Amino acid sequence: MKTNDNYKRTMSPGKRKQIDPFEKSIEAALSPGRFISYNAAWSFMEDVQGVADDIGKINRKEPARAARLYEIFIAACHEKADEIDDSSGNFGMLVEDLFQGWIEARQGANFDPDETAISLISWMEDDPYGFCHDLERGVVKVLDKKGMAAFIQQIRAKFESAPNQDDKLEDLSHYRTEPLARKLERSHPDVSARVYCALCMRIVNAGKSKYYDAAIEHIEHAKKCYLKAGLDAAWQVVVADVRKRHFRKKGFMAGFEDIVTGAPKQVEPSFLERAKARKPKKPKMR
């Protein structure tokens, strides 16, 4: 994603003269190079919000222009993130609003919804400042029917595809899929359930027994999401399929069956409980 400065450098000298005046407004409001303390943040946010509001006003008549400006604005906010004390969280909330405006503008300009979904997922995965935390709740409000279908389809395509045989799975976090599954639990539990199943099956299909605990945790989340979405029949299909294909994997199946039957987990005794168990028994009095 290009920052405002990077964007300018990619332009030819002739085109630099045609820079959208809003770009200069974005740069001026964000005050690059100046650290914004907590006490100065309120005045700073008024200026930044004012530019965001002005871009919103051109959204109806010039959605393509607004979409491009929102994208530059979002990128510029990432550049500014290390230069502001956002203890109040207002800057982060503003960026969430910019994402929503960007989606609405792209839809208004009839841009490809698949491209919008792919870019959105990319932002959600690469989120060093937490701007996309709980973003899916706002996304649901603004995505139109085609946009929502594309968003869900891209997630399914991304996480339900078979893993590369050369993948090592030594650190599951590099797939960066679990955070998205968690983000979708509340808004789209049906999609989240399928993502969790894909995460589980990725481990089980690879036969990596040392990761079975993670696989069990994923399938437990999947069951909760299926039931939350009212898809008990779909969950039963998963159960039948796992039992049919993986019954020989005893290390996984024992925990899987506990999830299916709802058996309570064995809770490890606490430190004090273990200590008390070591106390010598009192001798019986004769």
Residue 13 to residue 11: CA distance in whole angstroms: 7
Residue 94 to residue 259: CA distance in whole angstroms: 41
Q: How much of the chain exceeds pLDDT 70, in percent?
A: 81
Residue 270 to residue 266: CA distance in whole angstroms: 12
Phi, psi of 39 (to 5 degrees): -70, -30
Tell me if residue 283 falls in helix, strand or coil: coil
- What would the mean pLDDT of 68-92 be, rounded to a whole number? 95
Check residue 284 and give its pLDDT: 65
Q: Are 55 and 38 in contact (CB under 8 A)?
A: no
pTM over 0.85: no
Statement: residue 96 has pLDDT above 60: yes
Check residue 282 and give its pLDDT: 64
DSSP string covering 103-136: HHHHHHTT--HHHHHHHHHHHHHS-TT-TTTTHH
Could you tell me which residue, 240 or 281, shows the higher pLDDT? 240
Q: Are 185 and 225 in contact (CB under 8 A)?
A: yes
Residue 42 to residue 118: CA distance in whole angstroms: 34
pLDDT tens digits for 119-163?
998 898 888 898 987 787 788 889 998 998 888 788 777 665 544
Phi, psi of 36 (to 5 degrees): -100, 110
pLDDT tens digits for 247-269?
899 899 999 999 999 877 666 67
Residue 17 to residue 11: CA distance in whole angstroms: 10
DSSP string covering 221-276: HHHHHHHHTT-HHHHHHHHHHHHHHHTT-HHHHHHHHHHHHTPPPPPPPPHHHHHH
pLDDT tens digits for 4-61?
444 444 445 554 457 899 999 999 999 999 999 999 999 999 999 999 999 999 998 9
- Long-range contact list for 19-24, CB < 8 A, 24+ apart? 20/65, 20/68, 20/69, 22/51, 22/54, 22/55, 22/69, 23/69, 23/72
Closest of 34, 149, 141 to residue 96, by C-alpha: 141
Query: Looking at residue 185, what DSSP letter applies?
Result: T
Query: Looking at residue 285, what DSSP letter applies?
Result: P
Residue 193 to residue 216: CA distance in whole angstroms: 13
Check residue 17 and give its pLDDT: 55
Residue 54's contacts (CB-CB under 8 Å, 6 or more residues apart) are: 22, 25
Query: How many Cα atoms sit within 13 Å of 45 on the Cβ side?
Result: 19
Q: Are 154 and 114 in contact (CB under 8 A)?
A: yes
